[in-house]
Structure 1
Amino acid sequence: MELVLSPRILFLDEPTAGLDSSMARSVMECLQKLSRTGCTIVFSIHQPRYSIFKLFDTLFLLSAGRCTYHGRTDSVLNFFSSVGFSCVEHNNPADFLLDITQGDRPQLSAQQQDDIAFNEESS
């Protein structure tokens, strides 16, 4: 219903919740097309599969209420690799990022903690 008004910004909470993987991808593809028309879309999503993850332009990752990454999706793996966390080939980047931000990682050095805590890449 809100889309009829052609909003400039759209906030969505879990737009794929309760959908099977095929429908979830269809919804996200529609949202991506809408974003290409000038609409800014901000949404929360948990554990997207890779085909959905690669549709994202920008990520804002939180861990314990703090920003751990804000920037372009195509730069996120390079960023985490630069601070010592490399994604294994063929691993879903979304799963890798979830593991890193939720603490499933080796002990961080003080420098790695600073690098992650203060990353605010420009989009």
Structure 2
Amino acid sequence: MAVFEQHTTLSRQYPLPYATVFNAVPQVIQHLGHRLQHADPNQGIIRFSTGMSLTTWGENLTAQIAPVDPQQSATAVQLTSSGALPTLIAQGKRNRKVINAFFDELDRALQWQQGAPGQG
């Protein structure tokens, strides 16, 4: 883990069609109390942000969602987080915390599917 890491990207795969996963993401964003900024199903991009708190200025996040195979039997979600304002210390740790909370909630939202999601 880099102390001065500004951007963090993690990904998961779900054994579900693209539309199912894409449509679940805005619901997860709302459930977590984050603010949806942009959603484009044609490009597979969703942008959102977290709010400020006593310990952070907030984070800006971009989810890239894409089918893994031509049959769209599986979907990959790649999430990138960066601080809303440039900071130098511990942003990477905060980014991972926000990303992991998002994926935990997305896992719950899609839990009716069979099998566990693959982590990347």
Q: Normalization by structure 1: what TM-score?
A: 0.25
Bigger proportion of residues as helix: 1
| Higher CA-based Rg | 1
More RCO (CA 8 Å, sep 6+): 2
